[in-house]
């Protein structure tokens, strides 16, 4: 059942390492909204911050891996024929 919009939402998801980029970003957005709302008790705010930094590192790692994959694919691609 969905939480009321005025209360804090703590989303429980699988371990960060198995989270997709999209699910990690969605959870991170929820954490940011909850923290900006200012309704979290200190212990929950600290836990949310810790989870958020883990999600951020995970997303940055996935983006770095995607960039590396693109570079490899571009390097392996045959040169384009520039003649008409």
Q: Which domains does the chain have, with CATH numbers?
A: 19-76 (1.10.287.1040)
Average pLDDT along the chain = 85
- Return the exposure string of 1-28: e unless at least 16 CB atoms fall within 10 Å of the residue's CB, then b: eeeeeeebbeeeeeebeebeeeebbebb
Q: How far is CA 23 from CA 55, 65, 77, in A?
A: 10, 17, 31
- pTM of the prediction? 0.72
The Cα–Cα gap between 58 and 12 comes to 16
pLDDT of residue 84: 61
pLDDT tens digit string along 21-49? 999 999 999 999 999 999 999 999 999 99
pLDDT band (50, 70, 90) for residue 18? confident
pLDDT of residue 37: 95
């Amino acid at each position: 059942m969905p939480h009321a919009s005025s209360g804090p939402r703590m989303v429980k998801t699988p371990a960060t390492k198995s989270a997709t980029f999209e699910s990690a970003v969605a959870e991170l957005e929820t954490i940011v909204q909850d923290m900006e709302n200012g309704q979290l008790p200190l212990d929950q705010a600290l836990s949310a911050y810790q989870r958020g930094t883990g999600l951020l590192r995970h997303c940055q790692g996935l983006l770095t891996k995607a960039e590396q994959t693109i570079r490899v694919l571009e390097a392996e691609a045959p040169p384009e024929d520039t003649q008409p």
